[in-house]
Amino acid sequence: MKKMRLSRFIVFVVTALLAIAIGLFFIFQDSIVMKSVSKPVNTAVSTVDEILNLPFQLIDGTKQLFKANSENKSLKRKVEQFEGQQSEIEKLKEENTALRKTLKIKKSFPDQRVLSSKVIVRSPVSWLDVLTIDLGEKDGVTKNMLVLSNGSLIGKISQTTAGSSSVKLLSNTKNMDEIPVKIAAKKGDVFGILTHYDIESRTFEITQLTSSLKVQKGDAVTTSGLDGQSTEGISVGKVVSEEDNSNNLSRKIIVKPAIDLSDISHVTLVGD
């Protein structure tokens, strides 16, 4: 009995395997059935593959993010270094220009003391009134020395200490130093006093003229040195117009400064 049952079981298994094999054979021969079966299988395999790859993608993305962040920081440092270098180059160019101007002034005034200095303090509250430079008494600075920027007059030394000095600017409307000047008119020199600065028009006024000679627009204005303290021949500006020419004392000559008084970084001092 046992042998008969075992034989039947073996026959059943063999028959079932043959039936499955034949069924699979016909299924794979039918392309439509094959497609209907393979599509969900492929979809399932693809989904599983995406799920398995997701952690690796996240790790790779994180690595790329850190790499991009590191590169950005590196580029930022390089840009900051470049900007710093550019700023330093501009400062050196300004200093070089100032030194060249100083050398030129030394040649023009061989009998005068000529010093080159840098502006170290300029308050917004008194921007057009006063500034401080980095030279003082130990460097040979004395009170009333004329102060130039780019070869043109901007003010006078008003106070000195051992290591620094204060410059009273010509644009100081509260307490401007009156400076004797000379206008190079076509028919001769006209002398007067620089007495006022107009903030709105950014121009000087010359009054107390000594001559009735006609003054024209564009005539050069320089220091005359007739006060016995200042140096003669330093550029101040150019004539732009004339007001009230009824007599010499009431005549008023309007002069445009040769230098922008709001933009001063290096100066030259000239004096005995």
Domain contains 164:
no
Instruction: Give residue 212's pLDDT.
Output: 86
Residue 135 forms part of a structural domain? no
Picking from 60, 87, 108, the residue at the C-terminal end of a domain is 108
Determine, yes or no, domain membership for 172: no
Cα–Cα distance for residue pair 34/30, rounded to 1 Å: 6
SS3 235: strand
Q: What is the pLDDT of residues 54-107, one digit of tens each?
A: 666 667 767 777 777 777 877 777 777 766 667 667 766 766 676 677 777 888
pLDDT of residue 55: 67
Q: Beta strand 188-198 with 179-185: parallel, antiparallel or unpaired?
A: antiparallel
Number of separate domains in the chain: 2
Whether 156 is in a domain gets the answer no
Average pLDDT for residues 128-145, to the nearest whole number?
A: 94
* Of the candidate ranges 2-16, 166-180, 198-212, 225-239, the one whose mean pLDDT is the lowest: 2-16
Contacts 24+ apart (CB under 8 A), 7-10: none
Q: CA-CA distance, 155 to 147, in Å (whole number)? A: 5
Of 67, 90, 108, the one marking the end of a domain is 108
- Looking at the fold, whether 100 and 187 belong to one and the same domain comes out as no
pLDDT for 109 equals 85
101 falls within a domain: yes
CA distance 208 to 64: 78
* Among 145, 86, 158, 169, CA closest to 268: 145
Evaluate if pTM is beyond 0.85. no
168 assigned to some structural domain: no
Q: Which of the listed residues 89, 108, 127 is the one where a domain comes to its end?
A: 108
Task: Tell whether 93 and 195 lie within a shared domain.
Answer: no
Domain of 225: which CATH number? 2.40.10.350
Q: Are residues 7 and 104 in the same domain?
A: yes
Q: Which domain holds residue 199?
A: 179-260
What are the structure tokens assigned to 110, written together?
A: 């061989």
pLDDT over 70 percentage in the chain? 73
